[in-house]
Amino acid sequence: MTSLPTPPVAKRLPSTTTHHGIEISDDWAWLRDPGYPKVTDREVLDYLEAENAYFEAVMAPLKPLTDTLFQEMRARIKEDDATVPQKDGDYLYWSDHETGGEYRRWWRRPVAGGEDQLFLDEPALAKGKEYFRLGGLSISNNGRLLAYAYDDNGSERFLLRVKDLETGEHLPDEIPGILSDIVWNADDTGFLYGLANDQWRTDNARFHRLGTDPKDDVELYHEDDEGYRVGVGETSSRKWIVISTGDHVTSEIRLLPAHDVFAEPVLVAPRQTGREYDVDEHDGTLFIHTNDTDPMWRLVTAPITDPGTWTELIPADPHFYMTGVATFADFFTVEGREDGLDQIEIHYYDGRPKRRIQFPEASYVTGLGDNPEYAVDTLRLSYQSMVTPGTVYDYALSDGALTVRKVQTIPSGYDASKYLTERLKIVARDGVEVPCSIVYPADFPKDGTGKVYLYAYGAYGHAIPPGFSTGRMSYLDRGMAFAIAHIRGGDDLGQQWYHDGKLTKRTNTFNDFVDVAKGLIERRFSYKGGIAIAGGSAGGELMGAVVNSDPDLWGAVVADVPFVDVLNTMLDASLPLTPGEWPEWGNPIEDKAAFELIRSYSPYDNVKAQDYPPLFISGGLNDPRVTYWEPAKWAAKLRATKTDDNILLLKTNMGAGHGGKSGRWESLKEGAEEMAFVLWQLGVVDVEA
């Protein structure tokens, strides 16, 4: 584009703090409204609105391209799509979208026969709202009552309501501010839930009896450690209600009989720093999935009458990372990854040999789907790969047969033979092999001239599976490759892979990502400046780190709700997530070494006078996870410091939170904007003013 508007400039207001005898300057600290979570400061709002106006002006010439991309992506989505009905008790349940609809409708039909019943209508609930997100949804054991919760501003404080599915009327029971699942007791007289406290931390499990004032709800458990979060759930048999608490490294679980939630809780095992476990139950035996002896996890059992006496059932395996265990009436399942590839195993209580479900492709993503019933003879599974659309299977326990129940429909058409996929192993600078999944057009040139979109996350032990995406086809169909770097910090190769990218080893995450990019260049997939990169939240922190360290590698950068002000956030215990985040990042308040390490890589603190690649940055005004001022401060400091004239955009969603806009089409439009920016900056398309 030949002419661009002048970007806004945020004022500099010197501010300093001192920690461990070291003075930290922050000229843009004023962008944090002192009244947060309410943001009313006019100067702050004026700056964010000026950035949004600049964003709109710069993106205006790209609108035809954005519209084209949006229509492409929308044409690959079945507008009236529905999930496969699943039996739960006396009903079959499913959800769908209306043609053109932004939100889901939830349905059921009696197994014995009868009419379809629309029991929750998200479009009606969202009508007239800028933002809507459904949270917990739970139907009572007798099938009559529905408890559900929703958020209509992005703050992730949900309003709980109860609906009588026979009359269609709502009960007077309403509970604002919940942040948890919802679990009914056995006789459906009430349910368990958790409230968010003033710091947006769920430190409680409460019981609400229908028809009573929520102010009188009984707190069944309270967590005093401000770094821990409390959750509620239930065992597969629904005989026991689970109250869990923990942080990123330690867990502790209590069980309540579903028929008597006021009974003395059964403590499975007291918290032990560094030990995590989760629990299911079968006929009085606890199945405890734990990392107590090995980061690849193992499975132990214990009688519920003596939950502390553990007997090993399945030992840890150096090649099999056990990720989950679920019990059913006649068998139990073990999920995991063998050398990074998803596996599902069937194990029998009577000692019959285990059975592993086999799939045809060399690289894929699979897992248990929706399996609400305890006594079953088939299992619902999900399956996909980078070239295979999402598929729903029913797996027959009797003979191991896989029956396709649904294959993701792509209305505009899809030909898998047009694309190729590989799983590469790229050696990082410390000699460790880092996996990279890549998909590209069959005629993609491996001559060093190609364009690549490289994505990663790399934190909290969250793996990024090599799954299918209709959205990315707009890159592939324009000749680009799409790659996922399975860097340390995720648990793609096991929990040790996660441990090797956190705390004192955090910089491995950044180095891995840079080294994967360099490896793609060495293998002639691309060249310096031919790689666009993207990440969100903690993945946005990754983006901030690598643009500081290796700015010349990247042709375009998308950083969504980026966690870039790491040092200041970890120094502020009053922020919602900070105490619970110290096991992930370190506690710079008490630990000088942690302070110095975080200071050495925190993206905001390490912005320097150098050329930076084109940047697309997003934030959400109501985001409780990555507060709006982190991307805003970062953008302001970059504008004041960088030495290039490359585009830098900051878009703040003024009515949304961490996930951006709600609704499937509105969120798709945001994806189209980001894609248009990348295609423009990489020179894949020409854009004229």
Phi-psi region of 442 (alpha: psi -120 to 50; beta: other; left: phi over 0): alpha
In a domain, 146, yes or no: no
Q: What's residue 662's pLDDT? A: 63
Q: Is 412 a catalytic residue?
A: no
In the numeric block, which tokens belong to residue 457?
A: 């996350």
Domain-located, residue 532:
no
Query: Looking at the domain assignment, is residue 294 inside a domain?
Result: yes
pLDDT of residue 385 exceeding 60: yes
Tokens of 497: 């892979």
- Say what percent of the chain tops pLDDT 70: 98
Give residue 248's pLDDT band: very low, low, confident or very high (50, 70, 90).
Answer: confident
Asked if 537 is an active-site residue, the reply is yes
Mean pLDDT, rounded, for 283-304? 98
384 occurs within a structural domain: yes
CATH number at residue 657: 3.40.50.1820
Domain annotation covers residue 465 = no
Instruction: Rounding to the nearest 10 degrees, give the CA dihedral for residues 126, 129, 135, 141.
Output: -30
Query: What is the count of structural domains for the chain?
Result: 2
- DSSP of 544-590: HHHHHH-GGGEEEEEEES----HHHHHT-TTSSSHHHHHHHH--TTT
Q: Is the pLDDT of residue 174 over 60?
A: yes
Q: What is the pLDDT of residues 475-485, one digit of tens each?
A: 999 999 999 99
Residues in the chain: 689
For 142-151, 204-213, 227-236, 652-661, which range has the lowest pLDDT when averaged over its residues? Answer: 652-661
- 404-413 long-range contacts (CB < 8 A, ≥24 apart) are 405/84, 405/380, 406/83, 406/84, 408/78, 408/384, 408/468, 408/470, 409/78, 409/81, 410/76, 410/78, 410/470, 411/75, 411/76, 411/77, 411/78, 411/79, 412/72, 412/75, 412/76
155 is catalytic: no
Instruction: Reply yes or no on whether the pLDDT at 201 is more than 90.
Output: no
Q: What is the pLDDT of residues 620-655, one digit of tens each?
A: 998 888 899 999 999 999 999 999 999 999 999 987
- Look at residues 388, 409, 430 and tell me which one is the last residue of a structural domain: 409
pLDDT for 426-475, tens place per residue? Answer: 999 999 999 999 999 999 999 999 999 999 999 999 999 999 999 999 99
Alpha carbons 689 and 679: distance in angstroms, whole number: 16
Query: Is residue 51 predicted with pLDDT exceeding 60?
Result: yes
Give, as one character, the DSSP assignment of residue 169: P
Within a domain: 376: yes
Show the domain range for 306.
276-409
Instruction: State mean pLDDT over 501-509.
Output: 97
Q: Pick the catalytic residue: 537, 602, 618, 662?
A: 537
569 residue type, one letter: T
Q: What is the pLDDT of residue 656?
A: 64
- For the record, the structure tokens of 282 come out as 């079968």
Position 121, amino acid:
D
**Looking at the domain assignment, is residue 624 inside a domain?**
yes
How far is residue 164 CA from its own chain's centroid? Answer: 32
Instruction: Select from 358, 387, 409 the last residue of a domain.
Output: 409
Q: What is the pTM of this model?
A: 0.91
Q: Where residue 689 falls among pLDDT bands split at 50, 70, 90?
A: very low
Query: 387, 409, 431 — which closes off a domain?
Result: 409
Please give the pLDDT value at position 198: 82
Cβ atoms < 10 Å from Cβ of 104: 19
* Spatial contact of 440 and 419, defined as CB atoms under 8 Å apart: yes
pLDDT band per the 50, 70, 90 thresholds, residue 687:
confident
Reported for 14-23, long-range contacts at CB under 8 A and 24+ positions apart, including other chains, are 17/571, 19/571, 19/588, 19/589, 19/595, 20/592, 20/595, 20/596, 22/595, 22/599
For the cut 90, the answer to whether the pLDDT of residue 688 exceeds it is no
Burial 367-388, CB ≥16 within 10 A → b, else e:
eebebeeeebeebbbbbbbbbb
Whether residue 613 has a cis bond before it, omega within 30° of 0: no
Mean pLDDT of the chain: 95
Question: Percent of the chain beyond pLDDT 90?
Answer: 90
| pLDDT value of position 660 | 59
Residue with tokens 């009696």: 110
- Where residue 320 sits, what CATH number does that domain have? 2.130.10.120
What does the pLDDT read at residue 577? 79
Q: pLDDT, tens digit, for every residue of 113-146?
A: 999 999 999 999 999 998 899 998 999 999 999 9
Separation CA 566–CA 130 (nearest Å): 30
**Residue 658, pLDDT above cutoff 70:** no
Mean per-residue pLDDT, 10-31:
96
Provide the pLDDT for residue 657.
Answer: 58
Cα–Cα distance list, 555 to 453, 457, 646 (Å)? 10, 19, 10
**Helices (H), ranges, 602-687:** 629-641, 664-681
Residue 95 lies in a domain: no
**Among 78, 75, 101, 81, which residue's Cα sits nearest to residue 474?**
75
Average the pLDDT over 170-192 and give the result: 97
